[in-house]
Amino acid sequence: MARVLAIESSCDETACAIVEDSFVRASTVRTQIDVHARFGGVVPELASRHHLGAIVPVVRTAMETAGVGDFTELDALAVTEGPGLVGALLVGVQCARGLALATGLPLFGIHHMEGHLFSAVLGDDRIAARELEPHVALLVSGGHTEIVVVEGLGRYRILGATRDDAAGEAYDKAAKLLGLGYPGGPVIDRLAAEGDPQSIAFPRGMLERDNFEFSFSGLKTALLVHLEKHGQPQSRSGLADVCAAFQAAIVEVLVHKSRRAVRQSGLRRLHVVGGVAANRGLRAAAEAAGKDDGFEVVCPPLRYCGDNAAMIAAAAAARLRAGWRASTELHTTLAIDDPRMQAPERSA
Ligand code: KG4
Ligand code: ZN
């Protein structure tokens, strides 16, 4: 068993968690949504400042919640090393480095997207906590949209990714166009549930292309053109229809390509992870596809879809158990399938 404390500060959440393998003992997340909402998006400098103020209290709260009184009760530390906002990452990385120096604990730098992969194995009790098994992952967040074949720890094969906007980014931009504020995903998701998805025929970017790539910028333009032509919706039901039609265009492409990836991989399991995995329409459509095609679908509980440190800790715990060496040489800009991320450096 590996007990790991992790810190995550890549964007607008300051988070600390303690896990035992993938069993979550504590997961503390302090969000900055209120700070950034009035600017319509994350302001990097403000994010760094708020991380600075929040990081120590958040670490303390996680330790108290987990009943960990002393760092000697831990086996390792972990931190999100990237990708993310550099000034924001720096706060978490330097805090973790300081803790590692002071305690002598090994420190694992974890790729943020590898963390999201591990969100699907987290459990709030030992029974719900799982091992990472081979699967296809649909990784959908504010900065990434990828289909990844996960063969095992550190063995990740990206089948395809977005050519332009990430799915979460498309939601956020659409919300801005509709005057719905930041972040856009949750509010469009709620309104979509009341609307008619067939009310407007928005384009399904790259749906018919025989690959695993995505493109959402055309959809954003189509929404803009629609609003220029028809004006802003004047009623709640009109707004709900636009949201439902927009969401349907995104969900259909995501699920269509994921389904094909599962079929092609020969694996019988799809994990939907990342902030957009909280989307009710996406969860329902992925589950329906799994039922039709006979594969298992795992969508993490909502609290583990968005950014959190438990997923970062679980990725490090798996590395520790597999005998990987911790490294303070942090690679902040690599893709998840870069060989330098994967080479299993075993400790002596
Ligand atoms: O993974 P995440 O918390 O941060 C990144 O790593 O980017 O993802 C944040 C993204 C935002 O774009 C947000 O609008 C989107 O996830 N999101 C959603 C929902 N909840 C959050 N998108 C669609 N439906 C939701 N319910
Ligand atoms: Zn994320």
pLDDT tens for 40-80 read 889 999 999 999 999 999 999 999 999 999 999 999 999 99
pLDDT, tens digit, 9 for 90 and up, residues 73-128: 999 999 999 999 999 999 999 999 999 999 999 999 999 999 999 999 999 999 99
Contact by Cβ (8 Å): 311, 116: yes
The predicted pLDDT at position 327 comes to 72
C-alpha–C-alpha distance, residues 2 and 321, integer Å: 7
Atom of ligand 1 nearest to the CA of 306: 3
Instruction: Evaluate: CB of 115 within 6 angstroms of ligand 1.
Output: no
With a CB cutoff of 8 Å and minimum separation 6, the contacts of 89 are 9, 10, 80, 81, 82, 332
Query: Which residues of the chain register pLDDT less than 70?
Result: 328-334, 339-348
The predicted pLDDT at position 347 comes to 46
Backbone angles phi, psi at 182, to 5 degrees: -120, 145
Q: Biggest alpha carbon distance in the chain? A: 67
Beta bridge partners of 151: none
- Residue 199, class by beta-carbon neighbours within 10 Å (0-12 exposed, 13-18 middle, 19+ buried)? middle
With a CB cutoff of 8 Å and minimum separation 6, the contacts of 118 are 22, 132, 311, 312, 314, 315, 318
C-alpha–C-alpha distance, residues 218 and 205, integer Å: 7
The predicted pLDDT at position 343 comes to 53
pTM higher than the cut 0.75: yes
Omega cis (within 30) before 106 = no
Instruction: Evaluate: CB of 281 within 6 angstroms of ligand 1.
Output: no
The predicted pLDDT at position 348 comes to 37
Instruction: Evaluate: CB of 92 within 6 angstroms of ligand 1.
Output: no
The predicted pLDDT at position 328 comes to 62
Contact by Cβ (8 Å): 158, 248: no
Instruction: Evaluate: CB of 168 within 6 angstroms of ligand 1.
Output: yes
Distance (Å) from CA 104 to ligand 1 centroid: 35
Closest protein CA for atom 3 of ligand 1: 306
Could you list which residues have their CB under 5 Å from ion ligand 2?
A: 141, 307
Distance (Å) from CA 275 to ligand 2 centroid: 6
Helix crossing, 184-192 with 167-177: angle to 10°? 80
The predicted pLDDT at position 228 comes to 97
- 13 sits in which H/E element: strand 13-20
